[in-house]
Amino acid sequence: MLHVAGRPLLYRTINMLRDSGFSEVFLVIGPKGDKVKEYFGNGENLDISLSYVFQKKQDGIGDALLQAEKWINPGEHFLLVYSDVVTDENIFASVLQSFGVSNVPVAGIVLPTQSSAFGNVYMDKNMGITKIVENPAGKGTGNYVLGGVFVLPYAFFSYLKKVNGNMTKALASLISNEGLKASIWEKGWIDIGYPWDILSANRMIMDTWKTSSVHQNIVVKDAKLKGPVFIEEGVEIRSGAIIQGPSFIGRGSYIGNNVLIRKYSSLGPESTVGFGVELKNCVLFGKSRIGRLSFIGDSVIGMNVDIGSGTMTINCNIDKAVVKTKINRTELNTGMSKLGAFVGDNSVLGCGHNLKPGSIIKNGVVVPHHLTFPKEVR
């Protein structure tokens, strides 16, 4: 449900599946899956049938897949899709085409800049996958990895059961017994593993936009729109505002006077942006308020966040070094020289704060106003 280019990741995935010819999709959801069900319902609005499979405990992909076994008929093949993978074009159609040619199980594979965090794929000269090494040691780069899209036979469930849901071992059994063909995807692909991947995915998708789409039911008063801009219904944009595309503004949002929205900014529904705010390369999930005279750059803002006036996200180190941040007390090198803040859902930031590069504010945190008075006055 992370938002990218104005929509949850799943929204984009489901639309691509429909466009690839699928009429029925099963979503494996966990304890917080009600949010998914509330948003998508039975899929009628997307012209596809959606059903939900409940996984009591997040116990790996193999276990999630086993929960859906009863929905697949013996002898059938099915498409397995990882929900945290984003592509710039329709990877599902490409994998299905490979399956149609070979009529054997298929795995979509990609070539990322860094492969050590993924299942590395080794192939023979006929594009048959010979082995998969999960999270190989070392920092080697340039090896093909699993892209999170598979066409698998019903028999794969039996392989999973024999290895207690271990996906890597089950794929090894499939390779030995039936074979597994590689379908190479050479276009854009991002696995959302860290918060900053949202910004990369947002930019990748927006780079595919060539035209604007501005809903007729919006109020624009002496504002300037430049480049491919998507604006939904019920948006009010006040005088002096400048919106540079590619950008997205969700339904029911308010853009105040003299606001500057720069490229690659995505504002979810019911966002409120106050006077003189500058937004740059940022993603707002929706229902959030940005107080006047603030700068939000290279940042991700969750749902229902209140940011006070005069808040500055400092998006680079003074020496221009790559930004590092901490997740669960582990310091991580983001690989990005410009990176702002990540603010969780339902958080409140008081007025007048400066957030250092790579700041992470967890869900529901309340940060008081930055006050310089009252203090002792001489």
pTM of the predicted structure, to 2 decimals: 0.91
Summarised one tens digit per residue, pLDDT across range 212-244 is 999 988 888 789 999 999 999 999 999 999 999
> Residue 138: its pLDDT value, please?
57
Q: Which residue reads 């149609």 in tokens? A: 100
Q: What is the mean pLDDT of the chain?
A: 93
Say which residue, 112 or 190, is predicted with more confidence.
190
| 154 touches 76 (CB < 8 A) | yes
- H or E stretch at 67: helix 60-67
Q: Are residues 170 and 239 in the same domain?
A: no
Residue 198 falls inside a structural domain: no
Helix, strand, coil in percent for the chain, rounding step 5: 20, 35, 50
Mean pLDDT of 183-206: 95
Q: How many CB atoms lie within 10 A of CB 346?
A: 16
| 106 touches 99 (CB < 8 A) | yes
Paired residues of 104 in beta bridges: none
375 band by pLDDT with thresholds 50, 70 and 90: low
CA separation for the pair 79, 96 (Å, rounded): 9
> Residue 117: its pLDDT value, please?
65
275 band by pLDDT with thresholds 50, 70 and 90: very high
Domain that holds residue 49: 3-193
CATH number for position 250: 2.160.10.10
Residue 321 falls inside a structural domain: yes
Residue 206 falls inside a structural domain: no
CA separation for the pair 252, 354 (Å, rounded): 29
Residue 374 falls inside a structural domain: no
Residue 200 falls inside a structural domain: no
Q: Which range has the worst mean pLDDT, 16-25, 55-64, 205-214, 351-360?
A: 55-64
Q: Are residues 174 and 222 in the same domain?
A: no
Amino acid identity for residue 100 in this structure? G
Give the residue from 206, 197, 299 showing the smallest Cα distance to 244.
206
CA separation for the pair 109, 95 (Å, rounded): 9
Q: Are residues 126 and 273 in the same domain?
A: no
| 52 touches 37 (CB < 8 A) | yes
Residue 207 falls inside a structural domain: no
Where are any strands of DSSP class E within 287-358? 289-290, 295-297, 300-303, 306-307, 312-313, 324-327, 330-333, 341-343, 348-349, 354-355
Q: Which of 158, 193, 228 is the last residue of a domain?
A: 193
Q: Which of 193, 228, 261 is the last residue of a domain?
A: 193
CATH number for position 88: 3.90.550.10
Q: Which residues contact 310 (CB under 8 A, 6 or more apart)?
A: 291, 292, 293, 294, 351, 352, 353
Say which residue, 56 or 269, is predicted with more confidence.
269
> Residue 290: its pLDDT value, please?
98
Give me the number of domains the chain comprises: 2
Report whether pLDDT(140) > 70: no
3-state secondary structure of 58: coil
Q: Are residues 220 and 315 in the same domain?
A: yes
- Cα 192 from chain centroid (whole Å): 6
Summarised one tens digit per residue, pLDDT across range 244-261 is 999 999 999 999 999 999
Pairing verdict, β 236-237 and 106-110: unpaired
DSSP code of residue 135: S
161 band by pLDDT with thresholds 50, 70 and 90: very high
Q: Which residue reads 């090494």 in tokens? A: 133
Residue 378 falls inside a structural domain: no
